[in-house]
Amino acid sequence: MRNLIAIIAGEPNSINSEIIVKSWKKIKIKRNLFVIGNFLLLKNQIKKYGLKIDIYKINSIEEIKNKKVLNILDVPLNCKSTLKLSILETKNYVLNSLDVAHNLASKKKIKGFINAPVNKTVFKKKFLGVTEYLASKNNIKNKEVMMIYNKKLSVVPLTTHLEIKNITSKIKDELIKSKIITLNTSYKKLFKKKAKIAILGLNPHNSENRPNSIENKIIKPAIKKLKNLGVDIKGPFAADTIFSNQKKIDYNVIVGMYHDQVLAPFKALYGYDAINITLGLKYLRISPDHGTAQDIVGLNKANPQSLISAINFLNNINDQT
């Protein structure tokens, strides 16, 4: 069972059904793939959106036999209709699906899982997103790392889905060290090579190197400590120039202080050709590098490339193990 890969169906009101079906039709290796979600909900959506695919309901992964259809590991829904779920029903469904995947991966019954996008409101104020939710399930708070990966370059935000006003107070010596150590260790384990890390400052032009800046008081001392631990890290660099060609070719990972500092330029460069990998967990968790796209649900406009890349990535990792 180790080579099984699960896709969590994720947010019901989304493009997820569409990109799952499109991905299934395009990928070459299908035999080890199944979906975690509500069978009836997915069946109704596939029919409603005019997506043609054969699906099969299973209640455990031991029932996976027919490799020519897409197996759906059924997650029960306690609701009257699958056509429109309430906020509470959606929350319970998404979290239950994540828990099923977490339990299977923790018991090494699957190689890893891909969660299709979710609306982060299901976590309310307790968690910022799936990354933090799974970190809590793995008991590694503040050591988990969100890495957006492309074969040419990866980026990591030290803080993830925080409001801008709350970022500065979170940038501490211990946070930088714990996140970078996770990145350094996990990157080498996953890719069989050492991470060459460039880290950014927080402020424009690194606060012009002012003595009392966060760059001089917190970031630089943390870099020095990490170098003493054998981490290949340089910086802090100014965020407005690091993504120019002559700079980024010297590194394979760029670490920023906050989400959009690195994700905005990265997505401008690579678009859908990227995946989100959570480092530090005891299993492989990946997701497409985009959101639920509720504005185009049912319009047959969704691009499945990031989900396809996630599936292919896990298949390649499986080939190495």
Q: What per-residue confidence (pLDDT) applies to 90?
A: 86
Neighbouring residues of 299: CB distance < 8 A, sequence distance ≥ 6: none
Place of tokens 């043609």: 52
Task: For residue 131, give the nearest of 153, 161, 101 by alpha carbon.
Answer: 161
CA dist 23 and 18 (Å) reads 8
Query: Same domain, yes or no, for 154 and 229?
Result: yes
CA dist 179 and 193 (Å) reads 18
Query: Same domain, yes or no, for 130 and 146?
Result: no
3-class DSSP state of 5:
strand
Tokens for 46, please give them: 């596939």
Query: Same domain, yes or no, for 64 and 99?
Result: yes
For 257, phi then psi, to 5°, come to: -80, -25
Tokens for 106, please give them: 């923790």
Amino acid identity for residue 243 in this structure: F
Query: Same domain, yes or no, for 164 and 264?
Result: yes
Query: Same domain, yes or no, for 274 and 158?
Result: yes
Q: What per-residue confidence (pLDDT) applies to 318?
A: 52
Q: What per-residue confidence (pLDDT) applies to 81?
A: 64
For 94, phi then psi, to 5°, come to: -65, -45
Query: Same domain, yes or no, for 192 and 206?
Result: yes
Query: Same domain, yes or no, for 214 and 264?
Result: yes
Q: What per-residue confidence (pLDDT) applies to 80?
A: 65
Query: Same domain, yes or no, for 106 and 186?
Result: no
Q: What per-residue confidence (pLDDT) applies to 321?
A: 39
* DSSP H or E stretch at residue 155: strand 154-157
Q: Can you give the CATH number for the domain in which 127 is found?
A: 3.40.718.10
Task: For residue 89, give the nearest of 38, 48, 43, 140 by alpha carbon.
Answer: 38
**Cα distances (Å, whole numbers) of residue 235 to 77, 161, 222, 223:** 49, 23, 10, 7
Query: Same domain, yes or no, for 157 and 132?
Result: no
* DSSP H or E stretch at residue 154: strand 154-157
Q: What per-residue confidence (pLDDT) applies to 129?
A: 83
Query: Same domain, yes or no, for 180 and 254?
Result: yes
Query: Same domain, yes or no, for 2 and 132?
Result: yes
Residues of the chain scoring pLDDT < 50: 1, 319-321
Domain limits for position 316: 1-139+281-321
CA dist 37 and 72 (Å) reads 7
Q: What per-residue confidence (pLDDT) applies to 320?
A: 42
- The terminus-to-terminus CA distance of the chain in angstroms comes to 13
Query: Same domain, yes or no, for 180 and 67?
Result: no
Number of domains present in the structure of the chain: 2
Place of tokens 């970031």: 219
CA dist 156 and 307 (Å) reads 19
3-class DSSP state of 316:
helix
User: What are 115's strand-pairing partners?
Assistant: 8
- Asked whether 38 and 74 are in contact (CB, 8 A), the reply is yes
pTM: 0.88
